[in-house]
């Protein structure tokens, strides 16, 4: 499906946003008509459709070029809406809802009858979260339906953290985007499966393992890699994700980064370095971009996808990237970088 014009509704975050705001009401009408509207959340921009409509949800897969066996996350604005989507709420899920909703936590529940089977990719579970972003909450309220919304980018590319990113990928393919400015967190939500005992962490994100276990006690961690014939229960598990156009390689030994850069430049490739504030002055490359300070991993997470897209804008052939500690939000950062690099990590 193509659109002659993709609407761009700009909302003023300094004003009170609610379901009666003109931009929100107009965007909600498109959702009600079964069309696609991108919306900001506190994590990344999502590509929204009526989660109760097979036809509307199918348009998400077409616009993104997304495999149909990759389930979607459903977004709600009130806990009451959850009852339309699930068969029951496990005790572990109730504890997490009370601790972390609204916020960047997606919970997998037993599926109810109303939710589209296209959303769940035929599984008997459904992934749901309640975003904290006021624009997302207002749009869900105005549309009066739960909204299925994966990241609003072409499948496999870096997730969008601004409306500009959305339009670069999906202009002409969706009805519109509600522009709420840059997103706050920058990486997708944590995903945890509460249909098992103990619950299983499928995707790290802004709510860390340590925070989850402080509420639930010990949880299981799912192996990151699936076999080719296995079907994922959560987005971001099976397929290549978050990848820039240039080939990204991660190098754990910061002192060795320049050596790899020099080898690629000798072969006449345009080489970029994904650096941090502490080390960017140590390198020589065609393009050097910092994702922030190593002492502030929340800042790194916030900047990550924007920087990867900047390398695309500068048409870099090869990107050599620093790595980060695998603790707290660093686990989510490294999860996204490993997928963006296709597993290319040099450990010496």
Is 162 annotated to bind a ligand? Reply is no
Dump pLDDT digits (tens) for 277-322.
Answer: 999 999 999 999 999 999 999 999 999 999 999 999 999 999 999 9
| 279 carries a ligand binding annotation | no
Whether 274 has a pLDDT exceeding 80, the answer reads yes
Between CA 14 and CA 259 the distance in angstroms is: 47
Low-confidence winner among 194-208, 212-226, 287-301 (lowest mean pLDDT)? 212-226
**Under DSSP, is residue 216 helix (H, G, I), strand (E, B) or coil?**
helix
Does 294 carry a binding-site annotation?
no
Is residue 181's pLDDT more than 60? yes
Q: For residue 70, say whether it is annotated as part of any ligand binding site.
A: yes
Residue 149 counted as an annotated binding residue:
yes
Q: Is 75 annotated as a binding residue?
A: yes
Q: What is the pLDDT of residue 87?
A: 97
87 annotated among ligand-binding-site residues: no
203 labeled binding residue? yes
CB 82 within 8 Å of CB 93 = no
User: Residue 70: what pLDDT?
Assistant: 87
190 annotated as ligand-binding: no
What's 177's DSSP letter? E
In the sheet that 345-346 helps form, which strands lie side by side, from edge to edge? Answer: 287-290, 271-275, 318-321, 247-251, 345-346
Q: Would you say domain 247-346 falls under CATH 3.40.50.11030? A: yes
Domain ranges of the chain: 7-221, 247-346
290 annotated to bind ligand: no
Asked if the model's pLDDT at residue 225 lies above 60, the reply is no
pLDDT at 268: 97
Task: Specify the fold of 7-221.
Answer: DHBP synthase (3.90.870)
């Amino acid at each position: 499906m193509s659109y002659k014009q993709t609407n761009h509704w700009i909302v003023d975050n300094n004003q009170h946003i609610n379901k009666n705001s003109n931009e929100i009401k107009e965007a909600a009408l498109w959702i009600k008509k079964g069309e696609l509207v991108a919306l900001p959340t506190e994590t990344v921009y999502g590509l929204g459709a009526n989660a109760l409509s097979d036809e509307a949800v199918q348009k998400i897969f077409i616009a993104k070029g997304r495999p149909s066996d990759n389930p979607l996350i459903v977004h709600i604005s009130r806990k009451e809406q959850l009852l339309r989507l699930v068969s029951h709420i496990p005790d572990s899920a109730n504890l997490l809802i009370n601790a972390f909703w609204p916020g960047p936590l997606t919970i997998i529940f037993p599926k109810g009858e109303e939710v589209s089977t296209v959303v769940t990719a035929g599984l008997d579970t459904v992934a749901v979260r309640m975003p904290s972003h006021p624009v997302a909450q207002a749009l869900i309220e105005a549309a009066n339906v739960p909204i299925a919304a994966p990241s609003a980018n072409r499948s496999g590319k870096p997730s969008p953290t601004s409306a500009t990113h959305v339009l670069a990928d999906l202009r002409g393919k969706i009805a519109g985007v509600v522009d709420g400015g840059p997103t706050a967190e920058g990486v997708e939500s944590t995903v945890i499966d509460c249909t098992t005992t103990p619950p299983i962490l499928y995707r790290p994100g802004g709510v860390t393992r340590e925070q989850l276990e402080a509420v639930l006690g010990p949880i299981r961690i799912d192996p990151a890699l699936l076999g080719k014939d296995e079907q994922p229960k959560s987005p971001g598990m099976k397929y290549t994700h978050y990848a820039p156009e240039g080939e990204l390689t991660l190098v754990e030994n910061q002192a060795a980064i320049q050596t790899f850069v020099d080898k690629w430049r000798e072969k006449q490739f345009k080489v970029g370095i994904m650096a941090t504030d502490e080390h960017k002055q140590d390198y020589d490359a065609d393009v050097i971009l910092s994702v922030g300070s190593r002492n502030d991993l929340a800042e790194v997470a916030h900047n990550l996808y924007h920087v990867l897209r900047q390398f695309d804008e500068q048409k870099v052939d090869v990107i050599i990237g620093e790595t980060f500690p695998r603790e707290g939000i660093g686990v989510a950062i490294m999860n996204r970088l490993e997928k963006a690099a296709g597993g290319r990590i040099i450990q010496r």
